[in-house]
Amino acid sequence: MDWEYPGVDYRGGKPEDKANFVSLLNDLRQAIGPNKELSIAVSAVQSVIDVGYDIAGICRLVHDDL
């Protein structure tokens, strides 16, 4: 999943996109099941991460067995 970038206003984002991204990932996780890989691409810029990503919420949903 590559959403560039939730919550970032200069990309058309809204503050609620931080929670919307987790909801989207949750829906995807439910659709594909717990045994399928779900990975995401995120920004490396801290200011973008701060406004756009709920790291704890994301970590519960994406594949973490590298």
pLDDT of residue 63: 73
Which pLDDT does position 66 carry in this prediction? 45
* pLDDT value at residue 65: 58
Quick check: helix, strand or coil at residue 61? coil
Beta bridge partners of 2: 41
pLDDT at 48: 94
Please report the pLDDT score of residue 6 as a whole number: 94
The predicted model scores a pTM of 0.87
- φ and ψ of 41, to 5 deg: -110, 135
Confidence (pLDDT) at 20: 97
pLDDT along the chain (66 residues), means of 10: 90 95 96 91 93 94 70
